[in-house]
Structure 1
Amino acid sequence: MRVLVNLNRRSPTATMTATDDFGSFGIELIGVSAGHRVTASDVACVGVLDSSGDVLVTVARIGELAGDRSRDPDWTRRFGEMVEWAARRGWVDESGRLRAHVELSEVAR
């Protein structure tokens, strides 16, 4: 799963791609230079920026971004397995939010 956050607009917007890729979860900021310092307002449409520079995203927000796919029972089961796997590796915080690494992209999509 990949969340694209478009910073080329007045207010950042988020969309999800690779909705059925349960082997990875990340955020790509679009429309920034390589030296951009990620701010809380950059990622507020997705989650909360933590002190390490990762973004903590609620399970509910991931479901919203997945749209209709999140209503599919098989998708829900596989997503639950992904969350459990991430929790065993310490990538889920005490509130149940998933940790996502942030990548920067100058290319507009």
Structure 2
Amino acid sequence: MIISLDTSLPDTEPILVEPDNFRALKAVVMGDSASTFATSDRAGELGRWEGDHLWVSPEKILRWASVVREPDEAWRGDFKQMLSYAYKSGWVDEGGNIRVHVEYV
């Protein structure tokens, strides 16, 4: 899964690319440098930033997924397994947010 955001398009929601890939999760930010975007108000709307990582809620990922596909029962089951793996790996914080690596292009 790729959380894709083009910062040159104001007031747009991120797009979830490869929503059925439960073996990888990253965010790709296009248009701004890391230092410019990470300190913007818009960055805070996505989640909590920590260096090259974003802590994002599963609910937001579900919302973004619903734009590109219907998160049916099978999809939700796979998503739950992905969350379980992330939890076991230490990539989920005390609030249930998932740690996502961020790339800037």
Deviating above 6 A after TM superposition, structure 1's stretches of 4 or more consecutive aligned residues are none
Give ranges in structure 1 of 5+ residues lacking alignment: none
Q: Which has the higher helix share?
A: 2
Give distance in 2, aligned partners of 1:10 and 1:75.
Answer: 30
Hey, what does 2:65 align to over in structure 1? Answer: 66
- The percentage of counterpart residues that share the same residue type is 25
Q: In structure 2, what residue type is equivalent to 1:2? A: I
Q: Output the CA distance in 2 between the equivalents of 1:10 and 1:62.
A: 20
Alpha-carbon displacement from aligned partner over 1:15-57 (angstroms, at most 9, x marks no partner): 1110000001110001135xx424143423421212x331011
**5+ residue gaps in structure 2?**
none
- The residue number in structure 2 matching 1:18 is 18
- Count the aligned residue pairs: 101
Which residue number in structure 1 is paired with residue 80 of structure 2? 80
TM-score (norm 1): 0.83
CA–CA distance in structure 2, aligned partners of residues 29 and 55 of structure 1: 11
RMSD of equivalent CA atoms: 1.7
Q: Which residue of 2 aligns with 1:53?
A: 52
SS of structure 1 residue aligned to 2:100 = strand
TM-score, reference length from structure 2: 0.85
